[in-house]
Structure 1
Amino acid sequence: MNKTFKIYAVIFIVMMLILALLEVNKKETTDWRKNFDPNEKSPFGLFVFSNEAKDLFKNKLKEIEQTPYEYYNQKKGAHNIIVIEHDIDRESWKKILEQVSAGSDAMLMVSNIPKEISDSIGFYDSDISFEEENVLKLTDKKYQNDFIQLDKFPSGRGFSYIKPQAEILGKTMEKKNTDQANFIKVQFGKGTIYAHSEPLFLTNYYLLKPGNVKYAQDVFSYLPDRETLWFVESKSKVSRFFMRFVLSNPALKYAWWTFLGGLILFIFFNAKRKQRIVPVIEPLRNTSVDFVKSIGNLYLQEGDFHDMMAKKAQYFLNKVRMDLLIDTQNIDEEFAKKLQMKTGKSIEKINEAISLIKRAQDPYASVMKEDLEKINKLLDEILK
């Protein structure tokens, strides 16, 4: 058994022990998300309502997994429509309004009434309260003894402005705030729209409490006794991910992640090169710069500034011939004009440079160190 295998074995055993401890000490957590899913048994799912709804509507309830836009592709007689906290597209809302206008009734249990509906039934502002508890109660005297107390995450939404044509059917009551409408009725064409801003009372958590079912029955009693369509999220939308079976099973999921962890560790440790380290060989040093520096120092030590100045002028004129294609046989006024046009430098600088070049070419001219520095700087600026 080699050393690498022992390391893998120890790491694998440690990982398995950690996973076992996590599994043993894992606590069941409650999912308090407001999903409003008819298949969810979590507190804020609609599993209980979905099972009891058929009796509530006398077996006349039909769950529709299509969007209203897809479902209403042909004329349909008067019926009831239910929407519970369901995201519906604009065209589908238009289809619902068309059905209501033709004589159907719609019960909309949504915390945020869409603009397509509010614009059609009358403008209103949505009021929001942040109280942790409130009570939902209907305004009709025959339902005055039926109410429901919301003590877990109420939305606190209601209608703060309602037009005269709307009838208030229910209110939200709070200790520190005034009552606000949460359930209204509006005539629309030949039909009626009922809008409730707090669908939370239909979730599993509240329907399983004693006495709360009566409030839900009272709310739906406003709908006539006839066929009722409930538009729900499609139950047929099953994940197509190829690992869905493995990830849906806790034991298989842990095994899968353990396998992936071991595979990553294996790749990490085996990614190292197993061949001998290749020694770094320093490349041959370029001595051209050193040579140039040595020649420069030699000239400076000799102090022959006139010779260096002449070489600089000769190098400059060669560059002018090769790069700028200007004849340098006669360094006169015409040469100055051509050089000025091609370099864009001022005529004063070019005339000064020509004067220094002629001085460098004169073997009897007296040249100082300052002259060498000046011509070097000036010619470099012209060719820059």
Structure 2
Amino acid sequence: MNKTFKIYAVIFIVVMIILALFEVNKTESTDWRKNFDINQKSPFGLFVFAGEINGLFKNKVKKIDQTPYDYYNQNQKKQHNILVIENDLDKQSWNKILDQVSGGSDAMLIVTDIPKDISDSIGYYDSKISFEDENVLKLTDTQYQNDFIRLDKFPSGRGFTFIKPGVEVLGKTVEKNNTDQANFIRVKFGKGNIYVHCEPLFITNYYLLKRGSVQYAQDVFSYLGDRETVWFVEGGSKNSQFFLRFILSNPALKYAWWIFLGGLVLFIFFNAKRKQRIVPVTEPLRNTSVDFVKSIGNLYLQEGDFHDMMAKKAQYFLNKVRMDLLIDTQKLDEEFEKKLQLKTGKPMEMISEATHFIKKALDPYASVMKEDLAKMNRLLDQII
């Protein structure tokens, strides 16, 4: 195990121990943000409401993740109910909703804010905000006088002011230090009705799970008729499109992801410092002796001077006999042939024939042919 691997192993173990300590000692924190998301189980999400809405509307609910503008451009609907809960709609979508209401549909808007020109057309000019820590929501109808909900966690304190004549107040907010203010109204618009409730907290997970709170929600939705209800949800458009959304939304995967990134950074850091630069490959100098010899041989072959070539080959052979075999080459007689045969172990006939060609090569007046050169060269190469 090399030293670098040991360092990486120690760092990894230390990081894992630190993360384990954090995991053991961490305290679960509650997310109190008002997200109004149908997929969120946090206190102010709508997960419980989304699961119970079919019971409230007798399984006549249709969830739409399009904007009202896109949906009604593609669908022609008969009279129906429209439900909007804290959905950030554009002006064109609000106008499409008003068009449907004027044709006989009913719309319930559970929102804290809508465009001013739309609110003006409905019948109120502004919304009032109180900063009381606690308030109570009640309905004005006497048959619902015993049904109320107490908001003890972050109430928005919103209420309607400057209400036009003809607007019916259906619910109000009751506070200790302030006068009652309207928070639930109904407006006749064309052939239909518009219901606006400015405190959407009453349908969040936290309040629906409190004892006695469900009845108030049932009373509010009882104003809508028994027919199909189209709910424009914003959960689909609010989902992050970030490619790591699933990993980062899961605590275990998120820790694993950060450990991976941290390990990768450490690996790059140590590797960059300790890695030796690549040594360039240097081509060795080429031995051109063989090429030179071939060139000289080709030159002699082109000149056709076979005698000179035989003479040089004979001299080279005799020099090698003197240097390697230590045989005197001044006299090429029978004694020379015997010594050469003893040293090389070749047949005497081959030695005699080679000696004959050597003598012929060294004789300046001898006549030689190309075949003589080839045969002598073959014999001498076989001897030594």
Normalised by the length of structure 1, the TM-score is 0.67
Q: What residue ranges of structure 1 are gaps of 5+ in the alignment?
A: 277-384
Cα contact 1:37–1:46 (8 A) shared by 2: yes
Match of 1:227 in 2: 228
Cα contact 1:93–1:116 (8 A) shared by 2: no
| Cα shift at 1:252 | 3.2
* Residues 117 and 238 of structure 1: CA distance in aligned 2, closer, same or farther (over 3 Å): closer
Cα contact 2:39–2:235 (8 A) shared by 1: no
* Residues 184 and 246 of structure 1: CA distance in aligned 2, closer, same or farther (over 3 Å): closer
* Residues 145 and 93 of structure 1: CA distance in aligned 2, closer, same or farther (over 3 Å): same
Once residues 240 and 184 of structure 1 are traced to their aligned partners in structure 2, the CA distance between those partners, rounded to angstroms, is: 37
| Cα shift at 1:2 | 4.6
Provide Cα deviations, 1:163-199, integer angstroms capped at 9, x if missing partner. Answer: 1121111110100111111011111111111111101
| Cα shift at 1:5 | 3.6
| Cα shift at 1:271 | 3.2
Once residues 138 and 215 of structure 2 are traced to their aligned partners in structure 1, the CA distance between those partners, rounded to angstroms, is: 11
Find the residue that maps to 2:224 and give its secondary structure.
coil
| Cα shift at 1:204 | 1.0
Match of 1:89 in 2: 90
| Cα shift at 1:50 | 1.4
Structure 1 position 25 matched with structure 2 position 25: yes
Match of 2:212 in 1: 211
Structure 1 position 170 matched with structure 2 position 171: yes
Match of 1:122 in 2: 123
Once residues 176 and 238 of structure 1 are traced to their aligned partners in structure 2, the CA distance between those partners, rounded to angstroms, is: 40
| Cα shift at 1:102 | 0.8
Match of 1:34 in 2: 34
Once residues 206 and 246 of structure 2 are traced to their aligned partners in structure 1, the CA distance between those partners, rounded to angstroms, is: 29
| Cα shift at 1:244 | 4.5
Once residues 238 and 175 of structure 1 are traced to their aligned partners in structure 2, the CA distance between those partners, rounded to angstroms, is: 39
Provide Cα deviations, 1:3-45, integer angstroms capped at 9, x if missing partner. Answer: 4443333222211110111111222221111111122221111
Cα contact 2:106–2:192 (8 A) shared by 1: yes
| Cα shift at 1:211 | 1.1
Once residues 145 and 238 of structure 2 are traced to their aligned partners in structure 1, the CA distance between those partners, rounded to angstroms, is: 42
Mean CA deviation greater in 153-162 or 121-130: 121-130
| Cα shift at 1:242 | 4.4
* Residues 173 and 20 of structure 1: CA distance in aligned 2, closer, same or farther (over 3 Å): same
Bigger radius of gyration = 2
Match of 2:190 in 1: 189
Find the residue that maps to 2:215 and give its secondary structure.
helix
Code of the aligned partner of 1:68: P
Once residues 131 and 247 of structure 2 are traced to their aligned partners in structure 1, the CA distance between those partners, rounded to angstroms, is: 42
Match of 2:108 in 1: 107
Find the residue that maps to 1:27 and give its secondary structure.
coil
| Cα shift at 1:240 | 5.2
Code of the aligned partner of 1:21: L
Code of the aligned partner of 2:216: Y
Code of the aligned partner of 2:83: I
Provide Cα deviations, 1:19-74, integer angstroms capped at 9, x if missing partner. Answer: 11111122222111111112222111111111211111112221112111111124
Once residues 128 and 49 of structure 1 are traced to their aligned partners in structure 2, the CA distance between those partners, rounded to angstroms, is: 25
Cα contact 1:94–1:116 (8 A) shared by 2: no
Aligned residues: percent identity?
A: 77
Match of 2:15 in 1: 15
| Cα shift at 1:274 | 6.6
Q: What residue ranges of structure 2 are gaps of 5+ in the alignment?
A: 278-384
Q: Number of aligned pairs?
A: 276
Match of 2:260 in 1: 259
Code of the aligned partner of 1:45: G
CA RMSD of aligned residues (A): 2.1
